[in-house]
Amino acid sequence: MRLIVSGGGTGGHIYPALALIEEVKKQEPDSQILYIGSTRGLEKDIVPQRGIEFKELKIQGFKRSLSLDNIKTVSLFLRSVHDSKKIIKQFKPDIVIGTGGYVSGAVVYAANRLHVKTMIHEQNSVVGLTNRFLSHYVNKIGIAFKVAASQFPKDKVTFVGNPRAQQAASVVSHFKWSEYGLNDDQPTVLIFGGSQGALKINESTISAMKEFSKRNYQVLFVTGQNRYQTVKTELGNQQLGKNIVIKPYISNMPEMLPKVSLIVGRAGATSLAEITAIGIPSILIPSPYVTADHQTKNAKSLVDGKAALMITEDDLNANSLVEGIDELMHDDHKRNEMAQNAKKIGVPDAATRLYKEMRSVIDK
């Protein structure tokens, strides 16, 4: 297979793309793969490190308010379409797939104009602007949340899940809590606001530390790299219980997740793919700062499936955080039920499903 993949800006678009590439290489080891990303997104650093051929385009997103900057956006988009056509003609792909982000809009649209077969993957319950645009031009659309189907032309949509889930489900974990100075036989809750941390989650956790220090469960609090020093400063000389560990970042998160009794954090598509594939009970605190409030809608899919509790950011404080965690950490039966419900929602073979749909488009 000759495959062009495009997706960028955030990890939510990049990691599903990388999971798909991994599956393609597994199924068809002789495949030639090219990743096209943006000059500004995280993909320009992440993708080349994986040994994947990478080309970049200069592109930016639209401002949602009236702005002269949108004139530049249109100009960059048209230029990126032109540049994408040249790359596509040279590479001669069997198919081009976009996983979201503005750069994929130019690449997939260019492929359509050249009559190359195309596909997109939508990770969220609320469809992004780029994929809404591309849905009219592609051959097939893969979705990770069934509720997204109604936002696309129904004859093109197929439910595949999030490819990142398959990577999470396949990890063989040898992790032990003792690596972090904790007890391997004690239930542990992970509080994690993402790689950059989340201010309100951090503030509420700091305020709850005295209560957490009294509990018979353990707490691993991951602050985010840029917020770690602020958290340590705000805690000052406060004596924490031996059941609490604070870290700025966890590099081996996939190995750790199977050992987590409860996870508290945001409701991004990648996070939910991982925790449903593994089967982890969760308390979800959706970010209110994302497009179309899609994290709330992501979270509701787990809440409705009785796999998670949800606390809105407006309702989040030390008391609501402790009460929510206590409710689950003091009830093994409820956590086990939620874990089983999470697994029912998860799609542990999502990358294989997406690969098969992509192959069907090529072979049609």
Q: Which residues are annotated as a binding site for UDP-N-acetyl-alpha-D-glucosamine?
A: 10-12, 124, 195, 250, 295
Kindly list the strands in the beta sheet with 218-222, ordered across the sheet, starting from the edge strand earlier in the chain.
244-247, 218-222, 188-192, 262-265, 282-284, 308-310
Contacts of 302 (CB under 8 A, 6+ apart): 267, 272, 276, 282, 284, 308, 342, 345
Residues contacting 120, CB < 8 A, separation 6+: 97, 98, 99, 100, 104, 108, 131, 134, 135, 138, 140, 141, 142
Q: Which residues are annotated as a binding site?
A: 10-12, 124, 195, 250, 295
For the chain, where are the E strands, in sequence order? 2-6, 32-38, 53-57, 95-98, 118-122, 140-143, 157-159, 188-192, 218-222, 244-247, 262-265, 282-284, 308-310
Within the chain, how many helices (H) and strands (E) appear?
14, 13
Q: Give the C-alpha separation, 223 to 361, whole Å.
A: 43
Cα–Cα distance, 336 to 253 (Å, whole number): 21
Structure tokens, 234? 């705000």
Contact residues for 357 (Cβ-Cβ < 8 A; gap 6+): 119, 140, 142, 158, 160
For the CA atoms of the chain, what is the radius of gyration? Answer: 21
